[in-house]
A and B are shown apart, each in its own frame.
Chain A
Amino acid sequence: MGKTGKQIRSLLTIAAMVAIVETGKQLLNALPNIEVVTLLFIVFTKVFGWKKTLAAALLFALLECIWWGFGTWSIVYFYMWPLLVWFTWLIRKQESVWAYALLAGAFGLLFGAFSSVASILLVGFKTAFAWWVSGIPYDLIHGGSNLVICALLYQPLVSALTRIVNHYGSLH
């Protein structure tokens, strides 16, 4: 495959990732803090590597801002999902599903704390701390649901995606 062909393939892969993540996000929007975005970015980083997944994470953040409107909170989206990609890349050699389930759980649990870093800069420590504290029950739900979802779906998704990648790889 030529250089242009590889670039087109990369772009299509990134577009497909963004479409899948956004669809997953919208489908579960009605359930507070139960989401598959964390699972999908972990799986994508594992299968497609950090570069393509980082691009997809940034595009997803942009799409969310276009969908919901740009606000002071927008900055959170632009560092939270890249952070998850980075953490996943750091543990990419781990084979146990529990390593990724624990990462997903920790990410959900600390989502509010990481987000409040931006809030401190925007609204000051006192308000940011109060916002974070008031969101802790939701962070606990987020962490628990992330852990369960990842424990159940990580392996089937990685296996299915790896099969697809290998299949299309063999065509060229």
Chain B
Amino acid sequence: MKNKKLIVWAAGLLAAAAVLFGIYKAFGPKTASGSKTVTVIVSPISEAESRYELNTEAETLLQVMDELTKVSDFTYEGNDGGYGLFITSINGIQADYSTTATYWAIYVNGEYGQFGADQQPVNDGDTFSFVCETVE
């Protein structure tokens, strides 16, 4: 490939990266500062549901989760997958996609969450539900 062609391709790649960055800035999750009151609900498949209320200045759901671990019996485990935090356990209840086809889904105000816990913005009055679901 001639150098000129390569430079054009490299410029195209840089432009694509810039466009992607612009799309993320325009449509990506936007966090808000300030005090909020949020509710967190944990719904395992068979065990009883747990409910937590928190006054917080957290900007992401992950920060809410970290605060909850300090002030309540809420616990979680997860690993940093290719696309953010992948929750593997909540309140000691494991979800294992590969063996039991279960996973922890995040619902925000009753709707299926569109971001991972580390990106999910927190607004005053939000209700976050962790629901252990089975893949159908």
Q: A residues near B, CB below 8 A?
A: 32-33, 67-69, 71-72, 91, 94-96, 98-99, 102, 105-106, 109-110, 127, 129-131, 133-140, 143, 147
Contact = CB atoms under 8 A, between A and B. Distances in A.
B1 A94 contact: yes
Interface string B64-84: 000000000000000011111
B99 A137 contact: no
Given A69-B101, A102-B9, A138 B17 contact: no
Given A32-B81, A130-B114, A143 B97 contact: no
B28 A134 contact: yes
B97 A71 contact: yes
Chain A interface SS verdict (over half): helix
26 contacts: A33-B82, A69-B97, A69-B101, A71-B97, A96-B1, A96-B6, A98-B1, A98-B6, A99-B1, A102-B9, A105-B13, A109-B17, A127-B112, A129-B27, A130-B115, A131-B114, A134-B83, A134-B115, A134-B116, A135-B83, A136-B20, A136-B24, A138-B83, A139-B20, A140-B20, A140-B21
Nearest to B5: A99
Interface size class, chain B? 20 to 34
Contact of A110 (B16, B83, B135): B16
A109 B80 CA distance: 19
Given A98-B6, A131-B114, A137 B135 contact: no
Interface of B: 1, 6, 9-10, 13, 16-17, 20-21, 23-24, 27-29, 80-84, 97-99, 101, 112, 114-116, 119, 135
B20 A102 contact: no
B16 A133 contact: no
A130 B13 CA distance: 22
Contacts of B29: 134
Contacts of B24: 133, 136-137
Contacts of A68: 97-98
Contacts of B27: 129-130, 133
Contacts of A140: 17, 20-21
Contact of B82 (A91, A134, A138): A138
B133 to A, nearest CB: 12
A94 B3 CA distance: 11
Contacts of B10: 98, 102
The 7 closest A-B pairs by CB, nearest first: A130-B114, A69-B98, A136-B24, A94-B1, A134-B115, A99-B1, A133-B27
